[in-house]
Amino acid sequence: MQQEQENSSVTVFREFLRIRTDHPKPDYTASTKFLVEKAQQYGLQCEVYNGTGLPIVIMKIEGSEPTLPSVLLNAHVDVVPAVLDHWKVNPFDAYKDEKGDIYARGTQDMKCVAIQFLEVAHRFIKSGKKFRRNLYLTYVPDEEIGASNGMEPFVKTDKFRELNVGMVIDEGLASPTEEFTVFYGERAPWWIHITAEGNTGHGSRFIEGTAVEKLMRTINKMMQFRQDQFDLLHKGHHECGKKLGDVTTLNLTVLKAGVGEGPFPNYSYNVIPTVAEAGFDIRIPPTVNLESFLDQIREWTSEEGLSFKFANYTEKNELTDLNDPDLKWWTVFRESCDKMGLKLVPEIFPAATDSRFIRNLGIPAFGFSPINNTPILLHDHNEFLNEKTYLRGIDIYEGIIPNLANM
């Protein structure tokens, strides 16, 4: 029996998956070369911008009215590491099983969308489709580690301003149901490091005012807040439909104290440490006032005289208001999906994407990965995407993007 020939768009997707753009040493040289060669092969205008310190690939289909605000399709090319021992196949081989499931790091986050954008642009070029507005595709680095050399500085450049962006489509999440999720905002990531200082002494005595005591009392208050938010989420599932993106998550991720240095057991167990530290990952929805939440952190820490600093801080966290009657971008996006029989579920993205930098400029951004009936496996072991789901995603974008570019 002759083996069925693979769809060329799937082949391109698998080729891109094999490029090692995983941290801590993503091969941006290889990914840039791949994308530039594909753009040239497909007849897309293309340039590489290096103004942020790392390459950003910019592709373009010019519109007939290029002064109109443009449509931007944005994708990050980097992926998180993969722990090989927890994968049933090599996560960088792009292995496809007999069901058409493609296993690789980045299949969902977000090399699928990156190549779907490329392949749908190829369709537009082949068919000779014309648009009123300029259509841009950007491929950016370092999203997975905070975007400090990617989208964050890029939006402040003259090059970005030249794009005259009117709206953006960026990554979303897979949906395990028949529905498709679309994200209009996301939670602000705050990484906070708290330091307590206190009295020292012999471990056999009741020393008062120790650093660990002070820190633990503060941690307990913060963990009570965590429990309250957890209860709100699970109560909300039954009463008012709360999703993860609607509540504030707070997780203790760093804890440090002790006199001496590792490895275990090279510590002075009979000496009470003068310093104790804790780190938290906090994710705050755009419905929460950030200054008020900062006051809450000040209150928690000041009661024990603790100091804190941010390892990651977001000062502004705008959302795209889908209830704004003047937001025609959303009307066109939603109606395009309606015509294809797609049911959209608007949500707040529970983590952080490059869209936050776009929205903070007042530019509408929709996080939308056209993946349904698929478990959410971003950053997880054995991340996969079925080839039929991937190909349908190209069709879906083909049904949405022209309506936006001709709006």
Catalytic residue among 22, 109, 143, 398: 143
Reported as a single tens digit per residue, the pLDDT across 54-78 is: 999 999 999 999 999 999 999 999 9
pLDDT at 241: 66
* Number of independent structural domains in the chain: 2
Active-site residue 324, yes or no?
no
The verdict on 100 and 152 lying in the same domain is yes
Reported as a single tens digit per residue, the pLDDT across 189-215 is: 999 999 999 999 999 999 999 999 999
- Asked if residue 1 is part of any domain, the answer here is no
Share of the chain above pLDDT 70, in %: 98
Residue 132 pLDDT greater than 50, yes or no: yes
**CATH code assigned at 269:** 3.30.70.360
The verdict on 294 and 327 lying in the same domain is no
Catalytic residue among 22, 78, 119, 170: 78
The verdict on 56 and 108 lying in the same domain is yes
pLDDT at 265: 78
The verdict on 148 and 57 lying in the same domain is yes
The verdict on 264 and 229 lying in the same domain is yes
The verdict on 59 and 114 lying in the same domain is yes
Residue 128 pLDDT greater than 90, yes or no: yes
3-state secondary structure the chain: CCCCCCCHHHHHHHHHHCCCCECCCCCHHHHHHHHHHHHHHHCCEEEEECCCCCCEEEEEECCCCCCCCEEEEEEECCECCCCHHHCCCCCCCCEECCCCEEECCCCCCCHHHHHHHHHHHHHHHHHCCCCCCCEEEEEECCHHHCCCCCHHHHCCCHHHHHCCEEEEEECCCCCCCCCEEEEEEECEEEEEEEEEECCCEECCCCCCCCHHHHHHHHHHHHHHHHHHHHHHHHHHHHHCCCCHHHCCEEEEEEEEECCECCCCCCECCCEECCEEEEEEEEEECCCCCHHHHHHHHHHHHHCCCCEEEEEECCCCCCCCCCCCCCCHHHHHHHHHHHHCCCCEEEEEECCCCCHHHHHCCCCCEEECCCCCCCCCCCCCCCCEEEHHHHHHHHHHHHHHHHHHHCC
Reported as a single tens digit per residue, the pLDDT across 303-341 is: 999 999 999 898 999 999 999 999 999 999 999 999 999
- Asked if residue 192 is part of any domain, the answer here is yes
pLDDT at 235: 80
- Give 2's pLDDT tier (boundaries 50, 70, 90): very low
Residue 21 pLDDT greater than 50, yes or no: yes
The parent domain of residue 55 ranges over 8-186+319-405
Tell me, yes or no, if the pTM score tops 0.75.
yes
- Give 3's pLDDT tier (boundaries 50, 70, 90): low
Active-site residue 143, yes or no?
yes
Share of the chain above pLDDT 90, in %: 93
- Asked if residue 340 is part of any domain, the answer here is yes
The verdict on 64 and 158 lying in the same domain is yes
The verdict on 250 and 136 lying in the same domain is no
